[in-house]
Amino acid sequence: MKNLSVTIKNIYNDIDCNICERTSCGSCLNSIRQSLEYICLFTCDYYNIPLTRKTKKGNVVDNDNPTLGDMTPLIEKYFKKNNVLWSKEIGTHIGSVWTFGNLGSHAQKSSLINNAKINKVTIANALNSMCVVTEWFFNHYGLPSPLDEHLDTSNSNISNHEKEQNKEFNEKTNELFTKLANLQLKYQNIETEYFNEANKAFDDIYFDDLIEAIESGQCVLFIGQDLSVDDNNISLHEKFFKRISRRRIEYNQKDGLFMPKSEKQIELKALNYYNKKFNDDNKIGNNILNKIAQIPFSLIISVTPDNTIHQIFDKYNKKHSYFYYNKGTKHNVEEPTKEDPVIYNMLGDTGFDGKYIFTHKQFYEYINQKQEVKIPFEIENKIKDVAHYLFLGFDFNKWQNRLLLFSLNLYNEADAYTFDADKIEDINQEFINQQFNITFIKNNYNDFVNVLLQKCEKEKLNKPLIETFITNINEDITKVIAKTENFNNLADLIKIEKKIDAIC
């Protein structure tokens, strides 16, 4: 421990921005990261915590060169398992270690996330946090910190007002890490309930090929209106359309469209319903879409009036790009990938402006729009090129859903599946199968999603939404810390806090 104290103190004393003439601060930030690595190495040795890692094949092997990111989860797991007092009980969360380790890694590349520069302010804040984290670890062992004399004095070149703001910033940072730790603890013991695939047969689906296609970004998911249903399996959208049907807003149930000259009245009612009430009604749909969001589809196309799948991605801070059809508007879309997925509401987004394809006239105008307006070029190319399609919640008894398939320019030799075949008339099944090579599966889409999620988990292809959220929020906090003049970015932390509170 004495040698560790000397090493850490020497690292700290070697960093002096007042006399430094370097043009880059990256090496100093990397030194701070190394000091935290020494502390973690000592802790692992003290508690005999095995340093291991997983290979690509999932095998656990010894880790001869562990990083800060490798060690902190192992320490946290050991401490919690053995009821050892953890940092959040004292007021400093281990997330601080993770964050500055992450900054140190980026420092080796001479730049931070979003090309933010590492400068003297960054180093001053990192030194102060180094003092706080070091103090906690040494106090944990009942010893004085080698940096006690430096605590809260590392920002000597900053005004008193700025110091106070910086203190508030650091307190908020630690508070957010503590909230994330509590959130992770809350969900870590919750086991995912899976559908017992042995009770249902999906013999017509080649799951090995499907999983391979999803993993390589070669599967497009299409979401239809019947995905959102009530307890009696009745479409929530259909119920809403029937409920508002009256004089001047007459709904043609057979066609699934409204009569002429009702657009403005419908838009107002739709904007109100889909923004205020739909999400509460959509419990079954939300449950299914939360499972879908764990599967790395590169492209999701929705023909529903709502944008629930986009809201779920947003809520859990899951990276994606979202677009929706807006008459006459061309969208510039990057190529969809499983790392940067795209969600496209093909017929509009009522939650945004109340607009959607509600009437026969609107549908006619939509079909006759330029192809690049209906479906952005990059999305259309993706649809043409993939090997698998999944259609969930589509009523192909409605003629407009069958007609829409022509607009998609599907690859006719792809494997394509849709579900709830018993609900679709034989003549319509036969037409769709012959025209578009889509196979109808008798089992319902909810059972299928459960089976697919289970198989994705076996292949380590899915990621629980809460894990995605915690990982991405950690990165967001790191980006804020990496910015210059940290104390001016408290508003960014408060925005992040609102996201965490929404999950909690």
Per-residue pLDDT in tens (0 to 9) along the chain, 504 residues? 677 888 888 887 887 766 666 656 667 777 877 888 888 888 888 889 999 887 877 788 898 888 877 887 788 788 778 776 554 444 444 444 444 444 444 333 333 334 445 566 667 666 766 776 777 777 777 777 787 665 554 445 555 655 566 677 777 877 887 787 778 777 765 555 555 544 456 888 999 999 999 999 999 999 999 999 999 999 999 999 999 998 788 999 888 999 998 888 999 999 999 999 999 999 999 999 999 999 999 999 999 999 999 999 999 999 999 999 998 889 999 999 999 999 999 999 998 888 999 999 999 999 999 998 999 999 999 999 999 999 999 999 999 999 999 999 898 889 999 999 999 999 999 999 999 999 999 988 999 999 999 999 999 898 899 989 988 888 888 777 766 554 557 888 899 999 999 987
Amino acid at 72: T
pLDDT computed for residue 162 by the predictor = 59
pLDDT computed for residue 90 by the predictor = 40
pLDDT computed for residue 41 by the predictor = 87
Residue 264 DSSP one-character state: H
pLDDT computed for residue 105 by the predictor = 42
Query: Do 252 and 359 form a contact (C-beta atoms < 8 A)?
Result: no
pLDDT computed for residue 478 by the predictor = 73
pLDDT computed for residue 104 by the predictor = 42
CA distance 146 to 143: 9
pLDDT computed for residue 266 by the predictor = 93
CA distance 61 to 307: 44
Query: Do 18 and 157 form a contact (C-beta atoms < 8 A)?
Result: yes
Tokens coding 314: 């947003």
Tokens coding 142: 């009942």
pLDDT computed for residue 122 by the predictor = 64
Give me the helices (H) in 337-464, please.
350-353, 360-367, 371-374, 377-385, 399-408, 426-436, 445-458
pLDDT computed for residue 357 by the predictor = 95
pLDDT computed for residue 261 by the predictor = 86
CA distance 285 to 225: 10
Query: Do 28 and 168 form a contact (C-beta atoms < 8 A)?
Result: no
pLDDT computed for residue 115 by the predictor = 40
* Start-to-end Cα distance in the chain: 39
Could you tell me what percentage of the chain is helix, strand and coil, using 3-state DSSP and rounding each to the nearest 5? 55, 10, 35
List the domain boundaries for the chain. Answer: 2-191+466-503, 202-461
Smallest Cα–Cα separation from 416: which of 400, 433, 435, 439? Answer: 439
CA distance 137 to 143: 9
pLDDT computed for residue 18 by the predictor = 66
Smallest Cα–Cα separation from 306: which of 359, 244, 229, 246? Answer: 229
pLDDT computed for residue 190 by the predictor = 59
Fold of 202-461: Rossmann fold (3.40.50)
